[in-house]
């Protein structure tokens, strides 16, 4: 079917501005197929139902809008944790800044290297989950990423590595337009933690594909921010095998536009998928969490917990769907999305959806939007807490349900401290 | 210590006068009790003194050690030494009781230009004071008042009071919903703070509490006014005859 003219034009303009990276035959074929998908679908436009709440123009336009780099006066996140650091500067892997990539129980390579190899296991995974994730809803920016991303990390986990891998992003050029594509394969019984943080670019398009084999476990803690002008479209595509677990948490602070899509398919029985997010936005801030979880096996559990604190005209969006396919009996699906509006200017737009084709399931979802609890605020102040501190305490309490989704207590504390500091800075 | 003169209060949102000229002075080291029928304005008085929104003072003054408290923010009143044990303590999910106590103690110290209490000193103090109110470690760890029984909430109020060491304590029906044992604990907590020159304003319906916290002065409040003031014997009179006679006297 022909695309609407506006979409066609926008898509062509963007594609004309891109260069496809070199690579071996296998990846070139995958990239060409992805490019064909983009041309078929067209890039997101303001009229697309899936982009009803968030305007995609700046993510689509040929040139990335300029974004000032952010000098963080705070210590680097996770700096006290034993971790293997992998650094990308404006989207390019930096061997100099990174640790040695060898670690027992895990193979780590750079996508740019893998792409030149005649044969590589990543051939069966790169772009595969992204392709599957294009139905029933199209995600053209992810296909664009598969077609053009030149760098990223490719990881195969075979055991239980002694420390997490920490992807650290640095943004140095004000106009950097970055595509990153990570591929992770967690083999049977293996367990792995991925950490991500740092402003990556003026405009970031990132895809993370995670394939978790039976009984494998994947933990993911990501921090976005505190750069103000960034625009980012990220996608996580995950496939879960039998008795496997996927737990992903994202903290977002600041950012002109962030759209985080998470597409999860539970394909083996007794698997667990938890995805959570806590975001804090002040002023020029649009944050969109779009989640799609498909239950295609029995007795699986999924949880979505998203909390947003918005002030001074910040905008929060949540689109979350649980799809339970026929035969996915004993599904346990939970979804909650809430916003705390600290003033009358901010807004939260939510579209929770359930689509269920099995009869023996327990799914619940809820969405709320509210102001600070005045009764609680007075109670705290009557004990001597200044207005600002009392508000922050209640704000942290509001976010707690999401932050507590982080299993590791130390990481949970680390994230909490950062949110605390973010609030503190605004208190002056 | 606490001096209330001719206090008139109406609701901010509607044209309803609730306090119609309250005069009351609590001296340092004394316990004053206020009794009175439901709806007479006792809680309103306690809220207005502690700075809750929604009320408008149309006339009169309230001072604590000579300072006008009505102009202060609620937290400033707390730092000045005023404390209200709520009739209905508020549940705050997600805020740990211990964090709350520590933050409150330190905020008040800071407001008074004092150093923060060290983590270990604080812990020692909480444990000791919690133990005397039979508040266990689990209650300290839980979110503020969440899932607490009525009695636990009231004891938690007294713990906050014990930690904050205010100079003027207002207790709004702290005895309601308590069984005899819990009431003794609460009374014991109050009596422990009673020396050292603190003032107390104890709002209650029942003589019961006043058996354990012996008041120096008893006031009867009705329809937004103190209609009678006397010694402890006044409470016994209420217990026997109710408020009807007194109301008739002033009418
Ligand atoms: N926020 C409010 N909104 C409406 N009415 C109120 C409010 N606060 C107090 N009142 C009214 O004021 C009167 C006194 O209430 P209150 O102070 O709670 O009395 P008491 O504590 O003596 O039982 C009652 O008639 C009550 O309904
Ligand atoms: Mg009352």
Residue B248, pLDDT score: 73
Ligand 1, CB cutoff 6 Å, lining residues: B 11, 18, 36, 38-44, 54
Residue B251, pLDDT score: 57
Q: How many angstroms does the Cα of residue B216 sit away from the middle of ligand 2?
A: 21
Is residue B22 very low, low, confident or very high in pLDDT (cuts 50, 70, 90)?
very high
In angstroms, the CA A359 to CA B215 distance is: 66
Beta-sheet strand order (sheet of A332-341): A92-93, A84-89, A165-170, A191-197, A217-224, A245-253, A272-282, A301-311, A332-341, A362-370
In angstroms, the CA A152 to CA A210 distance is: 13
- A393: nearest CB among B83, B95, B111: B95
First to last CA, chain A: 55
Q: How far is it between the farthest Cα atoms of chain B?
A: 58
Best of B13, B17, B18, B201 for a ligand 1 pocket test (most atoms within 8 Å of beta carbon)? B18
Core vs surface per residue B195-230: b (16+ CB within 10 A) or e:
eeebbbbbbbbebebbebbebebbbbbbbbbbbbee
In angstroms, the CA B128 to CA A276 distance is: 39
Asked if A207 and A235 touch (Cβ cutoff 8 Å), the reply is: yes
Average pLDDT over residues A22-31: 97
Is residue B192 very low, low, confident or very high in pLDDT (cuts 50, 70, 90)?
confident
In angstroms, the CA A256 to CA A286 distance is: 6
Residue A1, pLDDT score: 63
Asked if A302 and A295 touch (Cβ cutoff 8 Å), the reply is: yes
Residue A345, pLDDT score: 93
The CATH class of the B2-248 domain is alpha beta
Q: How far is A340 from chain B (nearest CA, A)?
A: 14
Grouping H, G, I as helix, E, B as strand and the rest as coil, residue A277 is: strand
Average pLDDT over residues A137-160: 98
Minimal CA–CA distance to B34: which of B186, B226, B249? B226
Using a CB-CB distance cutoff of 8 angstroms, which residues of chain B are in contact with residue A393? Answer: 95, 99-100, 103
Minimal CA–CA distance to A273: which of A250, A304, A236, A307? A304
Indicate yes or no: CB of B164 within 8 angstroms of CB of A384: yes
3-state SS, one letter per residue, for B143-172: EECCCCCHHHHHHHHHHHHHHHCCCEEEEE
Grouping H, G, I as helix, E, B as strand and the rest as coil, residue A428 is: coil
In angstroms, the CA A70 to CA A424 distance is: 19
Q: Which ligand is nearest to the CA of A374?
A: 1
Angle between helices A409-427 and A387-403 (to 10 degrees): 150
In this predicted structure, which of A67-81, A284-298, B196-210 has the lowest mean pLDDT? B196-210
Is residue A72 very low, low, confident or very high in pLDDT (cuts 50, 70, 90)?
confident
In order of A69, A149, A279, B188, the CA distances from A170 in angstroms are 9, 17, 20, 60
Residue A224, pLDDT score: 97
Residue B236, pLDDT score: 87
**Ligand 1 atom having least distance to the Cα of B45:** 17
Residues present in chain B in total: 251
What the block records as the tokens of B1 is 């210590």
Our CA dihedral for B179, B184, B186, B192, rounded to 10 degrees, sits at 180
Asked if A218 and A196 touch (Cβ cutoff 8 Å), the reply is: no
The answer for residues whose C-beta is within 8 angstroms of residue A133's C-beta and 6 or more apart is: A139, A142, A235, A237, A263, A265, A292
Question: Domains of chain A: which residue ranges?
Answer: 5-286+303-312+398-411
Q: How far is A390 from chain B (nearest CA, A)?
A: 9
Closest chain A residue to the Cα of B87, Cα to Cα: A379
Asked if A230 and A198 touch (Cβ cutoff 8 Å), the reply is: no
What the block records as the tokens of A424 is 């503190």
Q: How far is A265 from chain B (nearest CA, A)?
A: 32
Asked if A161 and A83 touch (Cβ cutoff 8 Å), the reply is: no
A331-A397-A82 Cα angle (round to 5): 80
**Ligand 1 atom having least distance to the Cα of B172:** 21
Average pLDDT over residues A308-317: 97
In this predicted structure, which of A279-288, A290-299, B187-196 has the lowest mean pLDDT? B187-196
pLDDT at A428 over 80: no
pLDDT at B250 over 70: no
Residue B120, pLDDT score: 93
Q: What is the DSSP letter of A124?
A: G
How many other CB atoms are there within 10 angstroms of residue B248's CB atom?
A: 8
Residue B92 at interface with chain A, using a CB cutoff of 8 Å: yes
Question: What does the pLDDT look like over A112-135, one tens digit per residue?
Answer: 999 999 999 999 999 999 999 999
Is residue B180 very low, low, confident or very high in pLDDT (cuts 50, 70, 90)?
confident
Instruction: Determine what percent of chain A is predicted with pLDDT higher than 70.
Output: 100
Average pLDDT over residues A68-76: 90
Indicate yes or no: CB of A384 within 8 angstroms of CB of B51: no
Q: Which ligand is nearest to the CA of B45?
A: 1
Is residue B179 very low, low, confident or very high in pLDDT (cuts 50, 70, 90)?
confident
In angstroms, the CA A305 to CA A366 distance is: 10
pLDDT at B206 over 90: no
Residue B8, pLDDT score: 97
Minimal CA–CA distance to A224: which of A201, A192, A190, A193? A201
Question: What does the pLDDT look like over A196-223, one tens digit per residue?
Answer: 999 999 999 999 999 999 999 999 999 9
How many other CB atoms are there within 10 angstroms of residue B51's CB atom?
A: 22
Q: How many angstroms does the Cα of residue B48 sit away from the middle of ligand 1?
A: 12
User: Which residue pairs, CB below 8 angstroms and at least 24 apart, start in B228-233?
Assistant: none
Phi, psi (5° rounding) for residue A55? -85, 125
- A378: nearest CB among B74, B94, B104: B74
Question: What does the pLDDT look like over A322-369, one tens digit per residue?
Answer: 999 999 999 999 999 999 999 989 999 999 999 999 999 999 999 999
Asked if A69 and A57 touch (Cβ cutoff 8 Å), the reply is: no
Average pLDDT over residues A221-235: 97
pLDDT at A66 over 70: yes
Residue A50, pLDDT score: 97
pLDDT at B207 over 90: no
pLDDT at A24 over 80: yes
Indicate yes or no: CB of A375 within 8 angstroms of CB of B111: no
Mean pLDDT of chain B: 92
- B107: nearest CB among A386, A397, A401: A386
3-state SS, one letter per residue, for A375-391: HHHHHHHHCCCCHHHHH
pLDDT at A29 over 90: yes
What the block records as the tokens of B57 is 């003072």
Q: How many angstroms does the Cα of residue B225 sit away from the middle of ligand 1?
A: 13
The secondary structure of chain B as a DSSP string is: -EEEEEEEEEESSSS-EEEEEEEEEE-TT-EEEEE--TTSSHHHHHHHHHT-TTEEEEEEEEEETTEE-TTS-HHHHHHHTEEEE-SSPPPEEEEEHHHHHHHHHHHHHHHTTPPPPPHHHHHHHHHHHHHHTT--HHHHHSEETTT--HHHHHHHHHHHHHHH--SEEEEESTTTT--HHHHHHHHHHHHHHHTTT-EEEEE-S-HHHHHHS--SEEEEEETTEEEEEE-THHHHHHHHH-SHHHHHHH-
Q: Between A and B, how many residue pairs show a Cβ–Cβ distance under 8 A? A: 77
Residue B146 at interface with chain A, using a CB cutoff of 8 Å: no
In angstroms, the CA A348 to CA A368 distance is: 9
Nearest CA to ligand 1 atom 6: B11
Residue B195, pLDDT score: 73
Question: Domains of chain B: which residue ranges?
Answer: 2-248
pLDDT at A177 over 70: yes
Q: What is the DSSP letter of A60?
A: H
Is residue B178 very low, low, confident or very high in pLDDT (cuts 50, 70, 90)?
confident
Question: What does the pLDDT look like over B26-47, one tens digit per residue?
Answer: 999 899 999 999 999 999 999 9
3-state SS, one letter per residue, for A1-50: CCCCHHHHHHHHHHHHCCCCCCCCHHHHHHHHHHHHHHHHHCCCCCCCHH
**Ligand 1 atom having least distance to the Cα of B41:** 17
In angstroms, the CA A97 to CA A200 distance is: 15
Is residue A109 very low, low, confident or very high in pLDDT (cuts 50, 70, 90)?
very high
Phi, psi (5° rounding) for residue A390? -65, -40
Average pLDDT over residues B148-176: 93
Q: How far is A277 from chain B (nearest CA, A)?
A: 17
Q: What is the DSSP letter of A162?
A: S
Q: Per DSSP, what are the bridge partners of residue A365?
A: A335
Grouping H, G, I as helix, E, B as strand and the rest as coil, residue A157 is: strand
Grouping H, G, I as helix, E, B as strand and the rest as coil, residue A169 is: strand
Asked if A77 and A225 touch (Cβ cutoff 8 Å), the reply is: no
Residue A122, pLDDT score: 97
Average pLDDT over residues A72-80: 92
Average pLDDT over residues A381-390: 96
**Between B192 and A119, residue with greater pLDDT:** A119
Mean pLDDT of chain A: 97
Residue A151, pLDDT score: 98
Nearest CA to ligand 1 atom 26: B39
Residue B58 at interface with chain A, using a CB cutoff of 8 Å: no
């Amino acid at each position: 079917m022909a695309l609407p003219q506006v979409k066609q034009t926008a898509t062509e303009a963007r594609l004309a501005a891109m260069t496809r990276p070199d690579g071996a035959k296998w990846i070139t074929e995958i990239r060409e197929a992805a490019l064909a998908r983009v041309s078929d679908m067209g890039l997101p436009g303001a009229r697309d139902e899936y982009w009803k709440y968030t305007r995609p123009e700046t993510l689509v336009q040929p040139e990335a809008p300029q974004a000032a780099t952010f000098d963080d006066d705070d210590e680097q996140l996770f700096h006290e944790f034993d971790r293997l650091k992998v650094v990308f500067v404006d989207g390019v892997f930096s061997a100099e800044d990174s640790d040695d990539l060898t670690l027992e129980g895990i193979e780590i390579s750079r996508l740019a290297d893998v792409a030149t190899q005649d044969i590589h296991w990543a051939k069966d995974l790169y772009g595969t989950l992204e392709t599957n994730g294009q139905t029933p809803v199209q995600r053209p920016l992810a296909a664009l990423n598969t077609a053009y991303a030149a760098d990223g990390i490719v990881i195969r986990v075979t055991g239980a590595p002694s420390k997490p891998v920490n992807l650290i992003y640095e943004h140095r050029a004000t106009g950097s337009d970055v595509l990153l594509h990570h591929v992770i394969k967690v083999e049977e019984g293996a367990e792995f933690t991925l950490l991500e943080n740092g402003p990556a670019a003026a405009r970031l398009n990132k895809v993370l594909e995670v394939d978790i084999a039976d009984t494998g476990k994947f933990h993911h803690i990501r921090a976005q921010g505190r750069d103000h002008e960034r625009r980012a479209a990220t996608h996580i595509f995950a496939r879960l095998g039998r008795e496997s677990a996927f737990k992903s948490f994202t903290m977002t602070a600041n950012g002109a536009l962030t759209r985080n899509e998470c597409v999860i398919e539970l394909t083996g029985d007794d698997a667990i998928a938890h995805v959570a997010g806590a975001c804090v936005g002040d002023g020029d801030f649009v944050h969109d969490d779009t989640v799609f979880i498909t239950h295609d096996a029995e007795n699986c559990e999924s949880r979505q917990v998203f909390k947003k604190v918005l002030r001074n005209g910040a905008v929060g969006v949540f689109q979350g769907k649980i799809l339970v396919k026929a035969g996915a009996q004993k599904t346990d699906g939970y979804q909650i999305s809430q916003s705390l509006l600290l003033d009358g200017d901010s807004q939260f737009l939510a579209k929770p959806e359930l689509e269920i084709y099995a009869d023996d399931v327990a799914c619940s979802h809820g969405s709320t939007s509210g102001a600070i609890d005045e009764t609680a605020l007075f109670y705290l102040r009557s004990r001597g807490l200044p207005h600002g501190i009392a508000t922050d305490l209640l704000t942290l309490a509001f976010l707690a349900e999401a932050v507590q989704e982080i299993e590791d207590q130390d990481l949970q504390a680390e994230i909490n401290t950062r949110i605390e500091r973010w609030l503190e800075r605004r208190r002056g | 210590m606490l001096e209330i003169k001719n206090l008139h209060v109406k609701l901010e949102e509607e044209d309803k006068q609730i306090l119609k000229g309250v005069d009351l002075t609590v001296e340092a080291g004394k316990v004053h009790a206020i009794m009175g029928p439901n709806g007479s304005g006792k809680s309103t008085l306690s809220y207005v003194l502690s700075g809750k929104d929604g009320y408008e003072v149309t006339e009169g003054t309230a001072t604590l050690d000579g300072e006008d408290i009505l102009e202060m923010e609620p937290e400033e009143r707390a730092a000045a030494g005023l404390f209200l044990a709520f009739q209905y303590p508020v549940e705050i999910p997600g805020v740990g009781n211990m964090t709350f106590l520590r933050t409150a103690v330190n905020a008040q110290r800071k407001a008074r230009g004092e150093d923060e209490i060290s983590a270990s000193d604080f812990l020692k103090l909480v444990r000791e004071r919690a133990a005397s109110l039979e508040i266990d470690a689990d209650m300290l760890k839980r979110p503020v008042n969440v899932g607490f029984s009525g009695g636990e909430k009231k004891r938690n109020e007294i713990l906050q009071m014990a930690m904050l060491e205010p100079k003027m304590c207002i207790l709004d029906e702290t005895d309601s919903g308590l069984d005899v044992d819990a009431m003794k604990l609460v009374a014991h907590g109050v009596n422990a703070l009673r020396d050292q020159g603190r003032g107390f304003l104890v709002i209650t319906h029942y003589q019961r509490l006043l058996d354990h916290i012996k008041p120096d002065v008893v006031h009867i409040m009705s329809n937004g006014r103190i209609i009678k003031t006397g010694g402890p014997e006044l409470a016994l009179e209420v217990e026997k005859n109710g408020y009807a006679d007194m109301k008739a006297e002033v009418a």
